[in-house]
């Protein structure tokens, strides 16, 4: 009974659903018909808004149909889930049989259609074959199957001309038909130059006939200007200094670089600066340069500044006293003026925009003086972070905010580790006297400092880093500027190249003169005697004079001895405090002291004006330090004198010293040094005796 009851209920529910479904279909059909009739009536009167409303209505109706369909599918799934298993089996079997019957009926229908088509084709073929409906196809002939046909008529004409009228044949060959290609292509088998001449002659004659007198005069003037311009470009014997910027050719720029001993490598290098006014520097920077008294740029400034303004990494190799400080300061100031000023207290502890590293305190202080001279009129603040001064005072200045930090590696690491300074905003790094920093053992410190700087704004190590247009686009973008790393050095040892490969991206290298060569304006003298200091000092050299020794004790002893004799001498070496160093330098610059006795601490970067002589009381241990020592004189285009005392203990540098003196145009190598056995070969060279010099013992 229960099964019967459930089956009756199920059938009734099924019938109700089918009835509802039929009602829905009928209702939707009536709605569609009603809408269709309404659209037919109002189609001519509809506006754009009504058509839009109709589309929305149609879309809504389509959505309702989809919802009904989904609801129907959902109801079917629910009904199937509530079905009795046996009933489900019967239903599936019934549906399977219906599908098979439908499939067989379709196959039978396809077979009948195929047979009818075949019969039709067969009847058509019989009609064409036997009732004259078949057309005769034309035979196709291939290129290889062509039948040769002798042109008797043409041959007869030729024989006729030869026999009766030779003038006709002669005119045929003399007056050839000219094929006009209208400036495109050439005829094969004929000289190309001859064809060009013939074509130009043809078009020239044609245009000559068509032109009026005025057009002919204009054409003559145009050709005259073209010939004049070509002649001017072909040869212009004027010197580059007599030409305007726009008239400079590649040849002029090559001569310009040769005149100033500028050598470059590394991608697209911009043209150097001829003078300050011609180059497109910002007006406020030009005013500062004029106030500082820079009349003409030095060779390193001429080439390094244009490269620096392109936001490219630079390696500058130039002699001491060549103006390297301004070469990296001017692009740095242009860079900083494009960035927002650090005025708010909240921004003061974010760190500087630029960091300048120097190997010694004296060089850092000298760079600070130059930076203040340039940056103070522009409102750019500078802080020096060096040893010998209270770290707390430096930390207070850093907290107040600054755009540029000038530091020595040791003190800068101390400040960074103690959280007095962060470099999260630093986008410009300068390594001055990089070779000296590496010689003093600062390479790990420099690498550690560079690791404090963010790497998110590094240049890509691709050709884009050498493309000036892309670099300038990034520079002018204002945000996410690439980090710029600049390295200046007097020599280029392997350690400096290794550091450059690690931290510089596709740098432009600028050589001024020859790297590691002595100053050309410094006359070098060598005295091979025990000690002759007093005779040299009494020979009439004007102060200031710098005397270099190798040891701190020798520095103090020599200065005291000179003071006892009556000379005003001061000392500068690593054992002195920072205040004592500054006091000694200020006395020498002010003229209170005439002689500075120093170690190699003063050998690099110290800029003292009008040093008349550098005396190497103790010869340097290597030729690089010697070159930097004598670079303290002969600066800023002036001449100078460098004198060296040599003893037997200095024989390891005799060869390099001899070569340095021979390469100098204003120096003469003494015969004692030139003929010395240790000056004939480089140290470490293994010599082999000639056969005639060997002694054979019997």
Tokens at residue 193, please? 């130059």
pLDDT reading at 282 higher than 70: yes
Catalogue the E-assigned strands of 563-681: 569-572, 595-598, 613-616, 640-645
Residue 486 has pLDDT above 90, yes or no: yes
Q: Tens of pLDDT along 340-349? A: 887 777 777 7
Tens of pLDDT, residues 361-373: 888 988 999 999 9
The whole-number pLDDT of residue 356 equals 94
Residues near 631 by Cβ (< 8 Å), separated by ≥ 6? 319, 320, 321, 490, 518, 519, 522
> Whole-prediction pTM value?
0.52
More confident residue, 291 or 109: 291
The string of pLDDT tens digits covering residues 391-408 is 888 888 888 888 999 999
Does a cis peptide bond (omega within 30 degrees of 0) precede residue 55? no
Cα distance between residue 83 and residue 88, in whole Å: 6
pLDDT of residue 384: 92
pLDDT of 422 strictly over 70: yes
Span 509-525, mean pLDDT? 66
Residue 147 has pLDDT above 60, yes or no: no
More confident residue, 216 or 685: 216
pLDDT at 357: 93
The confidence score (pLDDT) of residue 516 equals 46
**In 3D, which of 686, 619, 601 has the Cα closest to residue 656?**
619
Nearest to 585 by CA among 542, 550, 632, 538: 632
Assess whether pLDDT exceeds 70 at residue 468: yes
Residue 297 pLDDT > 60, yes or no? yes
**Percent above pLDDT 90 for the chain:** 8
Estimate the crossing angle of helix 324-337 against helix 283-291, to 10 degrees.
150
Average pLDDT across the chain, whole number: 80
How confident is the model over 531-547, as pLDDT tens digits? Answer: 466 667 767 778 888 99
Average pLDDT over residues 83-89: 79
CA 228 to chain CA centroid, Å, is 39
Residue 6 has pLDDT above 90, yes or no: no
Q: Is 370 exposed, middle or buried (0-12, 13-18, 19+ CB in 10 A)?
A: middle
| Predicted confidence (pLDDT) at residue 430 exceeds the cutoff of 90 | yes
More confident residue, 518 or 614: 614
Which helix (H) or strand (E) is 369 found in, with range? Answer: helix 361-375
Non-local CB neighbours of 277 within 8 Å, separated by 6+ positions: 286
pLDDT at 31: 85
Query: Comparing 530 with 314, which gets the higher pLDDT?
Result: 314
Q: What is the spatial distance between Cα 363 and Cα 71, in angstroms, rounded to a whole number? A: 86
Contacts of 630 (CB under 8 A, 6+ apart): 518, 519, 522, 524, 614, 616, 640, 642
Tens of pLDDT, residue by residue over 41-64, are: 776 665 666 777 878 888 888 888
Cα separation, 103 vs 96, in Å, equals 11
Side-chain-side CA neighbours of residue 600 (13 Å):
18
| Residue 204 CA, distance from chain mean position | 49
- Cα(105)–Cα(107) distance, rounded to whole angstroms? 6
> Does 694 have pLDDT greater than 60?
no
pLDDT at position 290 over 70? yes
**For range 213-217, the mean pLDDT:** 78
CA distance 589 to 546: 12
pLDDT at position 146 is 57
Is there a contact between 496 and 438 (Cβ–Cβ < 8 Å)? yes
561 has a pLDDT exceeding 70: yes
Residue 101 is predicted with a pLDDT of 73
pLDDT of residue 144: 58
Given this model, what pLDDT does residue 349 score? 77
Confidence (pLDDT) at 2:
61
- Give the pair of three-digit tokens for residue 168: 């006709």
SS (H, E, C) 262-302: EEEECCCCCCCCCCCCCCCCCHHHHHHHHHCCCCCCCHHHH
Total residues found in the chain within this entry: 698
Please list the helix, strand and coil fractions of the chain in percent, rounded to the nearest 5, in that order.
Answer: 55, 10, 35
Q: pLDDT tens across 167-199, in order? A: 555 565 556 666 666 666 777 777 778 877 777
Region 275-295 average pLDDT: 86
Helix/strand number for the chain, H first, E second: 25, 14
Ranking 173-187, 349-363, 525-539, 621-635 by mean pLDDT, the lowest is 525-539
343 or 67: which leads in pLDDT: 67
């Amino acid at each position: 009974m229960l099964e019967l009851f459930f089956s009756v209920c199920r059938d009734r529910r099924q019938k109700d659903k089918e009835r509802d479904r039929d009602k829905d279909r009928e209702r939707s059909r009536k709605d569609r018909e009603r809408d269709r009739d309404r659209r037919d009536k109002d189609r001519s009167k509809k506006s754009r808004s009504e058509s839009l409303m109709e589309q929305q209505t149609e879309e809504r109706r389509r959505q309702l149909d989809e919802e009904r369909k989904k609801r129907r599918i959902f109801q079917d799934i629910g009904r199937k889930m509530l079905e009795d298993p046996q009933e489900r089996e019967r239903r599936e079997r019934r549906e399977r049989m219906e599908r098979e019957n439908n499939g067989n009926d379709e196959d039978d229908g396809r077979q009948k259609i195929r047979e009818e088509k075949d019969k039709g084709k067969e009847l058509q073929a019989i009609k064409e074959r036997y009732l004259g409906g078949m057309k005769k196809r034309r035979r196709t002939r291939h290129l290889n199957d062509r039948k040769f046909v002798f042109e008797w008529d043409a041959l007869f004409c030729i024989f006729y001309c030869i026999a009766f009228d030779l003038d006709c044949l002669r005119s045929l060959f003399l007056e050839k038909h000219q094929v006009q290609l209208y400036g495109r292509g050439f005829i094969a088998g004929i000289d190309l130059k001859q064809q060009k001449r013939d074509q130009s002659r043809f078009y020239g004659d044609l245009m000559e006939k068509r032109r009026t007198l005025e057009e002919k005069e204009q054409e003559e003037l145009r050709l005259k200007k073209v010939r004049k311009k070509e002649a001017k470009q072909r040869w212009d014997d004027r010197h580059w200094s007599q030409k305007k910027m726009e008239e400079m050719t590649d040849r002029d720029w090559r001569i310009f670089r040769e005149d100033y001993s500028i050598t470059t490598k590394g991608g697209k290098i911009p043209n150097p600066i001829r003078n300050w006014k011609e180059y497109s520097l910002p007006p406020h920077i030009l005013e500062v340069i004029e106030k500082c008294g820079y009349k003409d740029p030095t060779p390193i400034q001429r080439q390094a500044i244009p490269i620096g303004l392109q936001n490219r990494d630079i390696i500058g190799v130039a002699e001491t006293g060549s103006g390297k400080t301004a070469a990296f300061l001017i692009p740095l100031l242009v860079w900083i003026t494009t960035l927002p000023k650090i005025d708010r207290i909240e921004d003061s502890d974010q760190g500087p925009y630029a960091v300048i590293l120097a190997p010694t305190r004296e060089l850092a202080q000298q760079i600070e003086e130059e930076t203040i001279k340039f940056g103070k009129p522009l409102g750019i603040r500078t802080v020096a972070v060096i040893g010998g001064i209270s770290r707390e005072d430096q930390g207070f200045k850093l907290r107040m905010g600054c755009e540029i930090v000038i530091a020595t590696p040791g003190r800068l690491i101390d400040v960074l580790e103690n959280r007095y300074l962060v470099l999260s905003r630093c986008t410009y790094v300068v390594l001055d006297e990089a070779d000296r920093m590496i010689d003093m053992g600062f390479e790990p410190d420099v690498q550690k400092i560079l690791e404090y700087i963010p790497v998110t704004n590094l240049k890509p190590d691709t050709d884009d880093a050498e493309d000036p247009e892309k670099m300038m686009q990034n520079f002018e973008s204002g945000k996410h500027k690439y980090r710029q790393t600049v390295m200046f050095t007097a020599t280029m040892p392997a350690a400096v190249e290794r550091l450059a490969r690690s931290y510089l991206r596709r740098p432009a290298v600028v050589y001024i003169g020859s790297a590691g060569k002595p100053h050309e304006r410094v006359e070098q003298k060598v005295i091979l005697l025990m000690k002759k200091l007093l005779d040299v000092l009494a020979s009439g050299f004007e102060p200031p004079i710098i005397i270099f020794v190798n040891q701190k004790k020798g520095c103090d002893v020599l200065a005291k001895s000179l003071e006892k004799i009556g000379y005003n001498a001061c000392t500068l070496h690593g054992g002195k405090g920072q205040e004592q160093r500054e006091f000694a330098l200020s006395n020498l610059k002010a003229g209170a002291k005439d002689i500075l006795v120093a170690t190699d601490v003063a050998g690099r970067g110290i800029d003292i004006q009008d040093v008349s002589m550098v005396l190497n009381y103790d010869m340097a241990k290597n030729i690089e330090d010697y070159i930097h020592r004598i670079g303290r004189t002969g600066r800023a285009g002036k001449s100078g004198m460098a004198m060296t005392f040599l003893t037997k203990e200095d024989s390891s540098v005799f060869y390099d010293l001899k070569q340095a003196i021979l390469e100098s145009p204003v120096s003469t190598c003494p015969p004692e040094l030139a003929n010395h056995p240790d000056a004939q070969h480089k140290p470490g060279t293994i010599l082999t005796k000639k056969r005639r010099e060997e002694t054979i013992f019997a």
